[in-house]
Chain A
């Protein structure tokens, strides 16, 4: 597992651990295990990813503020389905959290169950999104709002799809003798962090696109 992780000199690492904790008053903490900075790296990536969304949001809000609404276009959208979708996604964050807890507790069967529920909720979300797409009265190139709507929700949907795939992989790995266990569950934590991120983005998106 550590072949991708850089080496710290075995001798110095153990010896300096104590020194490190005593001496290092800097903002970060000493690397406890390798999972630590991998999650950190993922978090950095999510900041970057979040900036892509931020760019889209900014573009949408600017269009809305300065471009007059085109003929035949409206900012009013059907709310029922997206609201249900929002609830599903928020619930899925909790179910994923539960899966993580079970995993740390060593209960792999329960982990898999909760992961399956989470993945199911994700698929339900995507299905809801599809239904919405097909029932909307406008298509991608109809007007500026329509294009922006599809770009935003589509890009987010892509993230959800990726998340569902990750969940499936993690669920597979969480069987006995798989790569994920109570003591070593970086994959699961990473997928969880990512999933929470995708949820958070959706909440913002829902607020801006549907409620505003």
Chain B
């Protein structure tokens, strides 16, 4: 390798700094996401900003380098000679192996941390709240699931309750979710309410116990940044704490038949008092007495 002139070094350093700053600026200032309405949405958005910034730096860097070389090293007309016979450069290659390796290692560890904070790493089958509802599955036993009994014993995946430590306002609110072509049905075992819409209070951890009757569906609330497949024969769980009152769409995100696109519902997030009123008005106990 020939000696590198100081000016080149300076240019490279300036350009890299400018690039990194631009990437960071874009990543942190261009908003690509909908409203954040659950306690783990801000956590998710933090991860998104990091990924977006890194992606921006790499993408812009590569595109600029490419366009620059296309311009700078374009063939002048009449020039039929070859370029330099450079076949490789070990130090350089080590550098560009190491940088992505460090980046993905960092990204991997960071997103693990985020996932942990969201409750994704909780071992689902020894969660105490789980045991409670696993026995209390009366609503689902009548739903016609052929393998109902066997599947009750085990939860197959999803996001457990660890993310709820941040909001210890009350006990966990269990809701049983049944998905079918082409609707979600929500059952509140404690209040014995069955509803086509999900109503939850702000600040209280909610734990959805989900099972499908026919084919696979997926429960997704974009404003919560959460999604979980609802699988026939294999119950799954999804925990979250809503933070902002409002109505948000519940979207079925797994192809489930012709009306898959129409399989939507709404989650209504109430302030705790409003939620109590809703419970009052809708629980069968209040109407019969």
- Top-3 shortest CB links A-B: A68-B150, A68-B153, A70-B150
3 chain-A/chain-B pairs, Cβ below 8 angstroms: A68-B150, A68-B153, A70-B150
Of chain B, the residue at the smallest CB distance from A71 is B150
Report A-chain residues with C-beta under 8 Å of the C-beta of B150: 68, 70
Q: Name the B residues within 8 Å of A70 (CB-CB).
A: 150
A68: chain B residues at CB < 8 Å are 150, 153
Q: How far is the CA of A70 from the CA of B153 in the complex (A)?
A: 14
Interface residues of chain A, those whose CB is within 8 Å of chain B, are: 68, 70
Determine the chain A residues whose CB is within 8 A of the CB of B153 once the complex forms.
Answer: 68
Q: Nearest Cβ in chain A — how far from B130, in angstroms?
A: 17
**Shortest distance in angstroms between A70's beta carbon and chain B's nearest beta carbon?**
8
Q: How many A-B residue pairs have CB under 8 A?
A: 3
B212 to chain A, nearest CB (A): 17
Give chain B's interface residue range (CB within 8 Å of chain A). under 10
- Report A74 CB to chain B, min CB distance, Å: 16
Q: In residues 117-159 of chain B, which contact A (Cβ within 8 Å)?
A: 150, 153
Closest B residue to A69 by CB, please name it: B150
In the bound complex, CA of A115 to CA of B153 (Å)? 55
CB distance from B269 to the nearest CB of A (A): 35
Task: Give bound CA distance, A68 to B150, whole Å.
Answer: 7
Q: Which residue of B lies closest to A70 (CB)?
A: B150
Q: How far does the alpha carbon of A70 sit from the alpha carbon of B150 in the complex, in Å?
A: 9
What's the least CB distance linking B193 to chain A, in Å?
Answer: 32
- CB closest chain-A residue, reference B153: A68
- Cα–Cα distance between A98 and B132 once the two chains are bound (Å): 66
B150 to chain A: closest residue by CB: A68
Query: B211 CB to closest chain A CB, in angstroms?
Result: 16
For residue A107, give the distance in angstroms from its CB to the closest CB of chain B: 57
Q: Digit string of B78-100 for contact with A (CB within 8 Å is 1, else 0)?
A: 00000000000000000000000
| Chain B, residue nearest A68 (CB) | B150
Smallest CB–CB gap between A39 and chain B, Å?
A: 37
Q: What's the least CB distance linking A167 to chain B, in Å?
A: 45
Beta-carbon contacts of B148-176 to A below 8 Å, as 1s and 0s? Answer: 00100100000000000000000000000
Return B199 CB to nearest CB of chain A, in Å.
34
In the complex, what distance in Å separates the CA atom of A68 from the CA atom of B233? 11
Complex-state Cα separation, A183 to B150, whole angstroms: 63
Q: Give Cα A68–Cα B153 distance, bound, in whole angstroms.
A: 10
Shortest distance between the CB of B279 and any CB in chain A (Å): 36
Closest residue of chain B to A67, judged by CB? B150
B161 to chain A, nearest CB (A): 23
A45 vs B211: C-alpha distance when bound (angstroms): 42
User: Smallest Cβ distance from B203 to chain A, in angstroms?
Assistant: 36
B109 to chain A, nearest CB (A): 29
Q: CA A70 – CA B146 in complex, angstroms?
A: 12
A70 to B151, CA, bound (A): 11
Compute how far the CA of A181 lies from the CA of B232 in the bound complex, rounded to whole angstroms: 60
A117 to B150, CA, bound (A): 50
Would you give the shortest CB distance from B152 to chain A, in whole angstroms?
Answer: 11
A79, chain B: closest CB distance, angstroms: 28
